[in-house]
Structure 1
């Protein structure tokens, strides 16, 4: 398995999880089972990635334009360039992104554009951040740093922390052979005394105590969701469920993505995060070919400027940029 295949796996895995999970978003496991049984495939012929995938495209575009020197203002400009002429659309867009865009359009700049929001702790940054892990392959600390830069445009506090955990996990997955290394990298990226760290730790304990992956799914749904909160998009919850399911299924691509789909709540984001980590760990070869083909070209339903983007080509460009930036970083370190 090549690093290039892992890059493709991370981006396609995100999009596959997103597209598979979109129909079950906001549902309970009981509702999903009553309507569909256990979901094991796309539920519609036109299944496609949602805002999770399309904001990941914007994330990647910023990285390709600015590399590891990217600033929050650069990210803000990428967002504004993509949506400045868009009227309507934004199908399925999350609250955090729409609030951030409204803030940017009104003249606020990051970090104010992300902190001046009632959705600052949503999972909207974590869902899009896998390209940072690809660029920073093997360097989780740098991935976490750049993730915080990108996330600050639309989030603050735990919304940023969740993005850092996912980026660090994907960065390590690009070179890892054990799913536990991926989990450990994500956990290390979380501030120890944070809401996210506590909930992720609880999810990992729940998964470890369960007697089987199926039992882990049931226990995680019973223990982790923030049922008192009106929306199912809190970053600590989504990150905890994604990492808990990833641990329960030992990083197996198909099983962990389908677990995210069938657990409901913010299922497209949970499955997208799990898919990015598992795709980076096992490569695109681990993703069923038909699933890869279904999501390879972005629909642009939310952000029209992303329509037609080829995710394989985008992953290849990120791979080249990541190798180049890693080489330059090594030269800089050796020259000190």
Structure 2
């Protein structure tokens, strides 16, 4: 099904679709993260068409390389944990965010309040689940007292900051330029180089997906209009390959070939190359361009886009998170299969609607503040340019 614009979806519908769509994509991709499409087919007897169990079955607590995380059975991963944490920052600040908000609000949230962590099947501090690239935030900001705007320098360059930037795009719905600028500022506390760039471009893509007449093509165009350096080149390469396909099976190899020259990790995802995750103006994270490519291949259809991202393998939970956020914003909450959303909410012991409702309320408040600030600027500028 190709996205249509017969009616304009309301803001709350797009925000709900984006956030639930991202969480469901995350949960679908978690159990096959790090594997190749061929390994996924061998393990599951074909392509994945819904929620599946852990790769190692009941041995998930001890089997390497995933232990001790229960990935599968509808459990969200750190992508969604971080996304919801950023929403809590917005609900605390109730205005646009910057790198200082990360230091003042996000880091304390990660280290001070235990929450149910589905992959650990226990209450724990989010810090105890998040990846080392996200623990960097705590090390640099809480312990190191670094300037938040520069704290991301020195961290590995990966999709860590980009994976949870959907709320920034939603707060700046239909204003990709503003989403990009805000996300780049926020991500400065976490990432540098093309990791930070991807955070800005992903936020812009989500913002563009909220526009009344948005299509997969307009989303990619918005991303390309703002992307810099290797990120822009990678999206161009993947989009060109995606334009030749309408079936993800046929697109899997071409999309990987299109991103390969820009991907520092290399062909073996679990054995990264010597140049992996180092700053560069020539490279890009893999996840965002592939998510955009899958959006194009599948005409924006939520289920097909997310399942294609899952079956791509490699870092497919983050790819499906990003793809789900964009496809959910394009199509609204009804596009996310209710069965999937219900199972993810129950398995993860989380209310998927509450963060969406909270962010919608904050988004409206921030827009009202933006209008007030804009009117004040207009009045001041009018006085400055009055010929009298």
Same fold (TM over 0.5): yes
Task: Give the gaps of 5 or more residues in structure 1.
Answer: 300-307
Give the Cα–Cα distance (whole angstroms) in 2 for the partners of residues 261 and 90 of structure 1: 26
The 1:150/1:205 distance shift into structure 2, 3 A limit, reads: same
Query: Which runs of structure 2 are paired with 1:253-292 in the superposition (5 Å)?
Result: 253-292=302-341
Q: Judge conservation of contact 2:153–2:192 (CA < 8 Å) in 1.
A: yes
Q: Distance in 1 between matches of 2:77 and 2:209?
A: 24
Pair 1:25 & 2:52 matched:
no
1:112 match: secondary structure? coil
Measured against aligned partners, the alpha-carbon deviations of 1:277-334 in whole angstroms (never above 9, x if no partner) come to 00010011000001112234794xxxxxxxx653312111211221222233223323
Which residue of structure 1 lines up, in the alignment, with residue 85 of structure 2? 58
Could you tell me how far 1:95 is from its partner in structure 2?
Answer: 2.9
Deviation at 1:133, TM superposition (A): 1.1
3-state SS of 1:116 partner: coil
1:88 deviates by 7.2
- Taking the aligned partners of 2:246 and 2:176, their CA distance within structure 1 comes to 31
Q: How does 1:169-208 map to 2 (within 5 A)?
A: 169-175=205-211, 176-191=213-228, 194-208=229-243
Give the C-alpha shift of residue 92 in structure 1. Answer: 5.5
1:48 to 59, 75, 92: 75
Report the equivalent of 1:113: 151
Structure 1 residues 191-220: Cα deviation after superposition (integer angstroms, max 9, x where no partner): 2xx111111111011111346443222211
- In the alignment, what sits opposite 1:73? 100
Which residue number corresponds to residue 239 of structure 1? Answer: 288
Change (3 A) 1:67 1:10: same
TM-score (norm 2): 0.77
Larger radius of gyration: 2
Paired positions, count? 324
**2:62 match:** none
Alignment of 1:142-153 (within 5 A): 142-153=178-189
Alpha-carbon contact 1:190-1:196 (below 8 Å) kept: yes
Question: What is the CA-CA distance between 1:91 and the residue it aligns to?
Answer: 6.2
Assess if the C-alpha contact under 8 Å between 1:68 and 1:146 holds in 2: no
Residues 194 and 230, structure 2, Cα contact 8 Å, conserved in 1: yes
Deviates more, 1:203-212 or 1:133-142: 203-212
Specify whether residues 223 and 101 from structure 1 end up closer, same or farther in structure 2 by C-alpha distance, changes over 3 A only: same
Q: For 2:184 and 2:92, how far apart are their aligned partners in 1?
A: 18
Written as runs of structure 1 = structure 2, the 5 A alignment for 1:80-229 is: 80-85=107-112, 90=127, 93-109=130-146, 110-117=148-155, 119=156, 121-175=157-211, 176-191=213-228, 194-210=229-245, 212-225=247-260, 226=263, 227=266
Aligned mates of 2:223, 2:353 — CA distance in 1:
25
Tell me which protein shows more helix as a share of its residues. Answer: 1
Q: Is 325-334 or 230-239 further displaced after alignment?
A: 230-239
User: What TM-score results when the alignment is normalised by the length of structure 1?
Assistant: 0.89
> What's the RMSD between the two structures over aligned residues?
2.3
CA contact (8 A) 2:81 2:126 kept: no
Q: Distance in 1 between matches of 2:198 and 2:170?
A: 17
Query: Matches of 2:373 and 2:189 in 1, distance apart?
Result: 29
Note the 1:287-306 alignment, pairs <5 A: 287-296=336-345, 299=348
8 Å CA contact 2:96, 2:366 repeated in 1: no
Cα drift, residue 231 of structure 1: 4.2
Q: 1:14 to 1:173 in 2, by over 3 A?
A: same
Contact 1:104 1:113 in 2 (8 A): yes
CA distance in 2, matches of 1:89, 1:168: 27
| 1:281/1:93 CA distance change after superposition, 3 Å | same
Higher relative contact order (CA 8 A, sep 6+): 1
Does the Cα contact within 8 Å between 1:59 and 1:150 map onto a contact in 2?
Answer: no
Identify the residue that residue 365 of structure 2 maps to in structure 1: 324
Could you tell me which runs of 5 or more consecutive residues in structure 2 were left unpaired when the two chains were aligned. 1-8, 54-71, 115-123, 278-283, 379-388
